[in-house]
Amino acid sequence: MIFTKKEKDPEKLKDLGEAIKYIKVLEKKINVLEKRIEVNEKIAQNNFSKFSILRFNSFNDMGGDQSFTLALLDKENNGFILTSLFYKDGTRVFTKPIKNGISEYQLLEEEETTLKQALDDKKTGK
């Protein structure tokens, strides 16, 4: 950790020379922190920050909203949609990539709804 070693208390510095040394140490630590923040901001650009999930019935004769679709997008609206369709004989799971908020594959109505909700996510600030 960057601030684990406690430097001299700024209130107890004896002269200008000590104050300058203290400021230089703090300046180096601030520079290290700025570099760390810059690296973390670049990494964060690739994290999923927009999402939406929708449960639904894939077939009219089945209840319980056992099927679902999940959209995960980054700040550039890239990501994927994960869909699970539940039916009597089993479950099918598949994904569709999303680039710039658009899928090159045909989307189910529920997938379109989920994608739109993720794109309109107001919590992300976009």
pLDDT at 124: 47
Whole-number average pLDDT of the chain: 86
Kindly state the DSSP code that residue 99 receives in the 8-state scheme: B
- Say whether pTM exceeds 0.85: no
- Which pLDDT band holds residue 1 (cuts at 50, 70, 90)? very low
Q: How many CB atoms lie within 10 A of CB 73?
A: 23
pLDDT at 55: 94
Total number of domains constituting the chain: 2
pLDDT at 126: 43
Closest-CA residue to 10 (of 53, 2, 1, 21):
21
Dihedral-angle region of residue 92 (phi above 0 means left; psi in -120 to 50 means alpha; beta otherwise)? beta
Kindly state whether residues 54 and 99 are assigned to the same domain. Answer: yes
Kindly state whether residues 29 and 90 are assigned to the same domain. Answer: no
Whole-number Å distance between alpha carbons of 111 and 55:
10
- Lowest average pLDDT, out of 64-68, 100-104, 109-113, goes to 64-68
Query: Domain range spanning residue 114?
Result: 50-124
| Cα three-residue angle 110-118-93, rounded to 5 degrees | 45
pLDDT at 35: 96
